Each structure stands twice: as structure tokens, then as C-alpha cells.
Amino acid sequence: MGKVAIVTGAGSGIGRAVSLALLDAGWSVVLAGRRREALEETAALSTGESLVVPADVADEAAVDALFAQTKARFGRLDLLFNNAGTGAPPVPLEDHALDAWKRVVDVNLTGAFLCTRAAFRLMKDQDPRGGRIINNGSISAHVPRPRSVAYTATKHAITGLTRSTSLDGRAYDIACGQIDIGNAATDMTRVIARGVPQADGTLKPEPVMDLKAVSDAVLYMAGLPPEANVQFMTVMATQMPFIGRG
């Protein structure tokens, strides 16, 4: 059997692109996300071996079931791509609703932790032992956009999760790295090309890049031998306002 991956948020955007790239490269891929229909659409786009498992990563029981189904079907796990994420309405910080804050934290941070914990439990006991975890950080793991306190806070926290996972994973041959993505062209980022708020209060369009640049980068990280790891990688549209932003 070839290598096995779990991709969260696999029903659209970056998750779909990475899932398809892994499938095309011969991986078996467990497609996880909240919407079964979207996951099945992803699966239908490839002839590779996939398993559709609807799951909300913020739900502990759903995450445990996701990894249990992966083990039952494939017997092991070689890669977890922690990609599922959400944002909150871009309102002034003082008007940010607590329930919106909690939902972003639940999905972006707690969800990544729950999946990482489940991956550790599976990877440390399998034979051969170990595996790889790649976290989707974001440019917001470095600098914020205006009115993005919840999203930015969770993405900064993902960097801490990556570092702790990388350190604690050494004992079990589990590598962990992070990819920070800036302005990849997806349905969710169409607004970027039309115009988004800048730090100086203006509204300006920003350059975007093709999703293939992201999937190629993740595929490279995933394909490294066990003794090598990309700790942090930034992949972004060349002319986007990253250096100097914020």
C-alpha cells in the first residue's frame, strides 16, 4: 500500500487542490470536512483512492471517528494536512462578538490541536512508526490584515502549535512543518483581486497566485524523506503587500 494522508477542509480551495495533488502523486487520501457533497465532488475529480469522511474538526468525537475510520480503512497514517479554517466578519475589534471569536478559535486552533493529538496517537503506535504533520499557517501568522483579530490570533497560535508539535514529535519520528500562504486564488479570496482594506485605511486590489503553487509546495514538503523537514515555508503572490504590511 502507498502512503496515506488526511486533509482537513478538503471540500474546496486549498484543501481540494492539495488533496488532488496528493491523489495524482499516488497517495491514498482521506477527505475530511463538514460538507459531504463538497467532499464527494473533490473525490470525483480524481481516479485516485480516497475516503470521504464528513467531520467538524472542532468536535472531539468527530475527530476521533475520522482517525478511527482512517486506521480501519488503511491501517496507518503518513501525513496530516491541518488545513480547515474559518474567519469572522471584518468588524472593529471593539464590536467583535464573543461567539464569532470562539468559533474561529474552535475551528482554526482547537481543531488543529485535536487532529494533531489524534495523529500522534496513531503515528506513534504504527509500524513503521512516525509520520508528518503540515499546518496551514497563513501570512496572518506573521502580520495581520485590518479587522481580523480572531483569525490573526489563531494563525499566530498555529505557529506555536507547529513548534511544540515538532519538538514533542521527535520522540516518535513525527515531523511537523508549517506552510504560510498568501493570496492564493480560491473562491474565498476572489474579493482580494477586487479590493481589500489596507493598513493605511485605503481599499486596494492585491495580486493573487495560482493554487498550483500551493499544492506543489505542500507536495514537496510531504514527499521529503523522514530524516528531513521543512519547518516553515512561505508561499505567496510575488507582488502582494506582505513585507511592509501591518
Which residues are the active-site residues? 151
Inter-residue contact 229 to 133 (CB < 8 Å):
no
Beta strands in 46-169 (DSSP E): 50-54, 79-82, 131-136
End-to-end C-alpha distance for the chain, whole angstroms: 47
235, containing H or E segment: strand 232-236
Beta bridge partner(s), residue 28 = 4
User: Which residue is listed with cell 471517528?
Assistant: 65
Burial of 7 from C-beta contacts in 10 A (0-12 / 13-18 / 19+): buried
Question: Can you say whether the dihedral through the CA atoms of 48, 70, 128, 231 is positive or negative?
Answer: positive
* Strand (E) or helix (H) holding 54: strand 50-54
- Among residues 235, 35, 26, 28, the alpha carbon closest in space to that of 10 is found at 35
Q: Which residues pair with 132 in a beta bridge?
A: 79, 175
- Written as one letter, the residue type at 64 is D
Cα separations in angstroms, 21 against 18, 54, 188: 5, 20, 20
Q: E-strand spans in 55-139?
A: 79-82, 131-136
